[in-house]
Amino acid sequence: MKKLFIFSLIIAGLFLGACSSKKAEDLYNLSSMEWYQQIIKDLQEKNLEAADKHYTSMAAEHIADPLLEQTLLILAQAHISEEEYEMANFYLDEYLNKFGDSKNVAYIRYLKIKAKFDSFAVPNRNQTLMLKTIEEIKEYNQNYPNVQYNDLIDTMLTKFNLAVFYLDTSIAKLYEKKNREQSYEIYKQKIENSDFNKIDMIKPELPWYRKIFEEGIM
C-alpha cells in the first residue's frame, strides 16, 4: 500500500506539473491588463522569449488597445538592454505603425537610430549598415532640425564618420599590401578628402582579443 501511495503521488505530481505548465504556456483570452501584467512578469524573470510570445497574443486579442503603446516601448527597451537590437527595432517599428504621430515620431526614430548605434560594437564588420545609418541620421536632422535629440544624434554621426574614416584607412592598407593599386588609390583619395585627415588624432586601441583577429585581417 505504501508503494502504491508513493506511486500515486508521483503520478499526481506529474499530472499537476503538466497542468501548471500548460496553464503557463497556453494562455489565451486574457484582458489587456492581464496580458500586460504577464509580460511584466516575464521581463522580471528575464524571460524575453516568453514576453515576445505573450506580446504576440496580446496584440492579436487586443488590436488597438492603449496598453499596447506602453508595452511596445517597454519591450523595445528590454531588448536594447540585452543588446538584442534587431528585436528592439522590430518593436519600435511596431510602435510607429500603431501609435506614431507628430508628438512622438521624433523620439521613436531617435531610439531606432540609437539602437543601431549601440549595435556597432564591431563596426568593421558592419560597413553597409553603418553607411546606411549615417544616411538615416542625415535624413533625421533634415526632418527634425529642432528637437531635443539633435545633439545626441550629431554625436552619433561624428562617431560613425570617424569609424568610416578608420575603416577606409584599414581597407586602403589592405589593398596596398595586396598590390591592388587601383582600389588603393580610390580609398587613398577618400582618406585625403576626409575632414578627419586634417586632425591630429590618437588612433583608438583595440582590445587584445579583437586585435588578434582584426589586425590579422586588415
Percentage of the residues of the chain whose pLDDT score is greater than 70: 77
The domain in which residue 76 lies consists of 31-100
pLDDT surpasses 60 at 36: yes
16 within a domain of the structure (yes/no): no
121-172, pLDDT tens digit by residue?
655 556 788 889 999 999 999 999 999 999 999 999 998 888 888 888 888 9
Report the CATH number that the domain containing residue 35 is assigned in CATH: 1.25.40
In a domain, 176, yes or no: no
pLDDT over 50 at 103, yes or no? yes
pLDDT, residue 162, reads 87
Whether residue 87 lies inside any domain: the answer is yes
Q: How many domains does the chain have?
A: 1
Reply yes or no on whether the pLDDT at 22 is more than 70: no
Q: Which has the higher per-residue pLDDT, 213 or 118?
A: 118
Q: Is residue 152 included in any domain, yes or no?
A: no
With respect to residue 46, please indicate whether it lies within any of the assigned structural domains: yes
- Residue 60 is assigned to a structural domain of this protein: yes
Query: Which residue, chain included where needed, has cell 516601448?
Result: 73
pLDDT band at 6 (very low <50, low <70, confident <90, very high): very low
